[in-house]
Structure 1
Amino acid sequence: MTEYERSRTMPAQPEHVFDQAANLDQLDAWLPDALHVHVEDPPAATVHEDHTGQDTSALLRAERDQMRIEWGTREQGSYAGWLQVAGIGGGASEVTVHLSFFDTGHDPGERAVCDALDSSLRRLEEQVRLRVDHAGG
């Protein structure tokens, strides 16, 4: 099993960050560019990967009371992950994303995963800023 984890501080209340991250209609706005999630009947979802052209059955759960989103592949159990939002005071939050690859053939490698996680967290922060700025103005 291989695991990866990245964190980023965001200038918004944890509830705002979580609501943006868990917005099922806007997942593509912050997920890696090559992944597209379609939620049929929560928690059931399908993940389409552009690089392979494959659709994979997955599960996606958002637990607002825990400020946590969890996901993973359904049938093959080769991949799982979670996103956790925590308030750090002063109107800021820390967002941590963790990925676990149980099948080494499914792991794209450290550099690719870390780049994708960093990019996703940066895009999520942009979405959060847009939402917070729009709500305030």
Structure 2
Amino acid sequence: MGEYERSRTMPAQPEQVFDQAANLGQLDAWLPEALHVDAEDPPAVTVHEDRSGEDTPALLRAQRDQMRLEWGTREQGDYAGWLQVSGIGSGASEVTVHLSFFDAGHDPGEQAVCDALDGSLRRLEEQVRMRVENASG
């Protein structure tokens, strides 16, 4: 079983960060580039992976009162993850993403996962910055 976690500080209130992360219509803007979520009937979603061409039934739940997203595969139980937003004062937030691979065959390895998480957090921060700038301008 592989467990991975990365964090990033973002220059926005936790509610702004969470609302951007949980926006089903804009998930593709910050998720790893090879993953696409079709959220026809939340919490049930379908995740398409470009690399394999496979569609995987999954669940995605947003808990705004806890500033938390949780997701995972629906049928196989091979994979799960969460994103947590925490306020750290001075109008900033910390976002932590955690991934668990319960089947070693689905774990792409530490370097690939950490690179994907860092890239996703960087893209999420860019989306949050654009949202905050547009709201204040």
Query: CA separation in 2, counterparts of 1:107 and 1:40?
Result: 27
Q: How does 1:93-112 map to 2 (within 5 A)?
A: 93-112=93-112
CA RMSD of aligned residues (A): 0.3
Shift of 1:120: 0.1
- 2:4 is aligned to 4
Query: CA separation in 2, counterparts of 1:14 and 1:3?
Result: 25
Unpaired runs of 5+ residues, structure 1, are: none
Deviations 1:37-72 (Å, cap 9, x if unpaired)? 011211000000000000000000000000000000
- 2:27 is aligned to 27
Deviation larger for 117-126 or 35-44: 35-44
Identical-residue share of aligned pairs (%):
83
Q: Hey, which bits of structure 1, 4+ residues long, moved more than 3 A?
A: none
- 1:83 is aligned to 83
Give the TM-score, by structure 1 length.
1.00
Query: CA separation in 1, counterparts of 2:105 and 2:115?
Result: 19
Corresponding pairs, count: 137
Give the TM-score, by structure 2 length.
1.00
Query: CA separation in 1, counterparts of 2:41 and 2:51?
Result: 25
The one-letter amino acid of 2:10's match is: M
